[in-house]
């Protein structure tokens, strides 16, 4: 026998202790304590029924979860695709701006030509585009005060979904810089 803190014997019920002795007492006690000689008490049977119902409810929800995922996954995948689309557009916009800026810097020094600026822009744009871009540089002369470089890229070369909604659209940027050929900054005393 096991004992508790007060040193009294602890009674552990077994199946034989809960079984009524005579059949007539079974009728009076069965509604209160048991259903039969080897069955659990009523409150334990109710707990088991609740567990079974909870498990059945869990199995019923398995199909609902699949349907909910089928609905939500479309929205999730569309959101991911839109994020990738905007990432690609911003990457292309940044590359077009850099190409125009560095081409203008290449052409602003004395002795540079428009072809050198176009080559610089083409070198930068070729990192992302094989075709579909256009580089325009204004005519440079010995006394040109500004260099203007315009770079444009067709949107269908960059994006996946945007050309569907925006056909014949271009990403375009202009870089305008003063050239070092301009004599307005410093004047010789002799001139």
pLDDT surpassing 90 at residue 158:
no
Domain positions in the chain are: 60-178
Three-class secondary structure assignment of 81-146? HHHHHHHHHHHHHHHHHHHHHHHHHHHCCCCCCHHHHHHHHHHHHCCCCCCCEEEEECCCCCCCCE
Compare 11 and 64 and report the one with higher pLDDT: 64
Fold classification of 60-178 is 3.30.1300
Mean pLDDT of 147-175: 89
Two tokens, residue 151: 């770079």
Residue 182: its pLDDT value, please?
A: 54
Question: Per-residue pLDDT for 161 more than 70?
Answer: yes
Query: Over the chain, what is the mean pLDDT?
Result: 78
For 132-141, the pLDDT digits (tens) are 899 999 988 7
What mean pLDDT do residues 102-117 have? 90
142-148: average pLDDT: 85
pTM of the predicted protein model: 0.60
Give the model's confidence band at 79: pLDDT under 50 very low, under 70 low, under 90 confident, else very high.
Answer: very high
């Amino acid at each position: 026998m096991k004992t508790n803190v007060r040193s009294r014997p602890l009674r552990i019920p077994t199946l034989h202790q809960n079984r009524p002795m005579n059949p007539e007492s079974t009728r009076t006690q069965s509604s209160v304590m048991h259903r039969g000689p080897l069955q659990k008490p009523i409150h334990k049977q109710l707990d088991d029924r609740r567990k079974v119902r909870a498990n059945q409810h869990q199995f019923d929800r398995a199909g609902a979860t699949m349907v909910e995922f089928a609905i939500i996954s479309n929205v999730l995948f569309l959101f991911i695709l839109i994020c990738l689309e905007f990432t690609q557009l911003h990457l292309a916009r940044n590359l077009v701006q850099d190409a125009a800026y560095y081409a203008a810097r290449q052409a602003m020094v004395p002795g540079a030509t428009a072809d050198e600026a176009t080559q610089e822009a083409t070198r930068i744009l070729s990192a992302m585009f094989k075709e579909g871009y256009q580089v325009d540089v204004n005519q440079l002369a010995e006394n040109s005060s500004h260099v203007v470089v315009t770079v444009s890229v067709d949107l269908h070369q960059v994006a996946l979904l945007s050309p569907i909604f925006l056909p014949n659209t271009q990403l375009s940027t202009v870089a305008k810089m003063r050239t070092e050929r301009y004599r307005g900054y410093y004047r010789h005393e002799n001139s």
